Amino acid sequence: MRIIVLLVLAAIIVSLGSGLYYLTRDQMDSRRLLRALTWRISLSVLLFGGLVLAGFMGWITPGEL
């Protein structure tokens, strides 16, 4: 479970970095920025929901991660 959480956190950070890159480099097209930030928000919600679900199902305990 720890590896999955770390991989999703890494994907969130990569998406945030690409959003920053598109924010500073793209002058004409903001669709790539919007797509990168949408991915970041979606991954964050997925991670939070997955952790809540895993806690309710008993797959993880509060001190495990």
User: What is the rounded CA–CA span in Å between residue 61 and residue 45?
Assistant: 20
The answer to whether 46 touches 8, Cβ cutoff 8 Å, is yes
Domain region containing 29: 2-57
Is pLDDT at 64 greater than 70 in this prediction?
Answer: no
Residue 31 lies in a domain: yes
Average pLDDT over residues 26-55: 90
Q: Within 10 Å of residue 5's Cβ, how many Cβ atoms?
A: 15
> Mind listing the pLDDT tens digit for each residue in 4-32?
999 999 999 999 999 999 888 877 778 88
Residue 62 lies in a domain: no
**In total, how many domains does the chain have?**
1
Residue 64 lies in a domain: no
What is the model's pLDDT at position 60?
A: 86
Residue 63 lies in a domain: no
Residue type at 47 in one-letter notation? L
What is the pLDDT of the chain when averaged over all its residues? 89
